[in-house]
Structure 1
């Protein structure tokens, strides 16, 4: 490289550096904010539906003020913010973290309930909110997770304000899980796997008694036994079907649910907050 070229490069660099120093630096507007200020701004963002901003404030609050009442509440509120922002895994992780850190907190039942709601709505999906679909035909993974979340809530906190809705959702999920097994049995029938179909129906009858799916399971079971040439088992299943129909045991009410429960953010009374 020629000497003149090197000189030109050096001069250009020297000219550019002062210009860079004049560029405005990004200002952290949260510098010096108190924990209360962080929480207030996060609450306002939540009320405006600006969940991503709220999440940022909640996380900054806990990072700067990890010990205190506002940080504890932010740990729970951020789970709801994640849920509203459709960040399901993060919502569940935040709720699990709150449960682990504060197992005796008077609002820990809310964390269990929120987990159930997140998984419940993941199972419903986007399109079924607008187009009627049979959710029992879907992969039962998140439905099982939701069932377990609600079951844990009811077991640990039977008198919780969320327990009644959790029980309703448990009944709904139980019906769906039972019908899922019926759909699987019918699929086996189409494939000629009659023994597998019959066994799946037995699982429905034994595991999901008092659900509408039991009738469908018995009907499919009878067909499967007929295909297998198991006349005695088919006759036994027919008798069970007829007896239960005569006693109206299949007339099980379908649980009615709110599509979107009004769970909201959990507001705490700071004066009575359990810090343990």
Structure 2
């Protein structure tokens, strides 16, 4: 009878080949994930990254500033490099890395003279990612919080003025989201849900451009529910605060069946409208 070959000996070359291939793949993966460490003077690294900034090569700039911090973490250059890395990532539209770098800088150097700018940069990263009102507005909320942090911490800084402008636009955007949902509920006949959305705009976003429409839609919802007194009160508020608005004219016509010229105010002889206006104001 022929002897069977030793299976362990047959598998040995295969195991060795697989081991070599695994090591080669691992080394290749390491090469891709992290560049080889070549120590260089901090001035050379920083100046090289700044040259990349001048050339608008933001990816190379970000890598260069990160390398400054990696090789010389305790040098004075490393602190500035952290700010510049966040800036380079922002310019590359890599907002996640930009926010991460900025937050790391603030954790390490909260009292640094560049802190106001870094807080502002975080706000910009969120602000520039704001999407249309048909989508989730989590980023918009983050933008609002970050911009308000700039104003709260550094109200007299050069960044606070622009932050305030962007806060107004951000709040208007959030109000627009509430209006979109409220209109949908109104069309679907979900009047209580619609009322909650319109009231949220009126109470939380009083300085936005959406308030006149919110008052008009709120009047519509109350009328649809048959709550005439509430509809009249809301309409009076609209007429008092926005007499020149097209929404005032529409609301007046909705409640009275009469047209009113845009810019006119309720008159004493206009029945319930005038009486309600005077009773409230």
TM-score (norm 1): 0.73
CA distance in 2, matches of 1:118, 1:218: 34
Map of 1:147 onto structure 2: 144
Name the Cα RMSD after superposition: 2.3
Once the 2 structures are TM-superposed, how far is the Cα of residue 210 of structure 1 from its aligned partner? 2.1
Report Cα offsets for 1:136-158 as digits up to 9, x if no partner: 44422111111111100000001
**Pairing 1:78–2:116 present:** no
Could you list the runs of 4 or more consecutive aligned residues of structure 1 that deviate by over 6 angstroms after TM superposition?
none
Report Cα offsets for 1:231-258 as digits up to 9, x if no partner: 111111111111112387x9xxxxxxxx
Map of 1:101 onto structure 2: 108
Which of 123, 136, 139 in structure 1 is aligned with 2:130? 123
Report Cα offsets for 1:100-146 as digits up to 9, x if no partner: 1111001101111001111111115xxxxxxxxxx444422111111
Alignment partner of 1:122: what SS? Answer: coil
Map of 2:241 onto structure 1: 244
Map of 1:229 onto structure 2: 226
Map of 1:199 onto structure 2: 196
Map of 2:40 onto structure 1: 33
More displaced stretch, 138-147 vs 157-166: 138-147
**Pairing 1:181–2:188 present:** no
Aligned length: 217
Relative contact order, higher structure (CA 8 A, sep 6+): 1
Contiguous gaps of at least 5 residues in structure 1: 2-8, 10-25, 125-134, 251-276
TM-score (norm 2): 0.72
Tell me, yes or no, if the aligned pair for 2:218 and 2:231 is still in contact at 8 Å.
yes
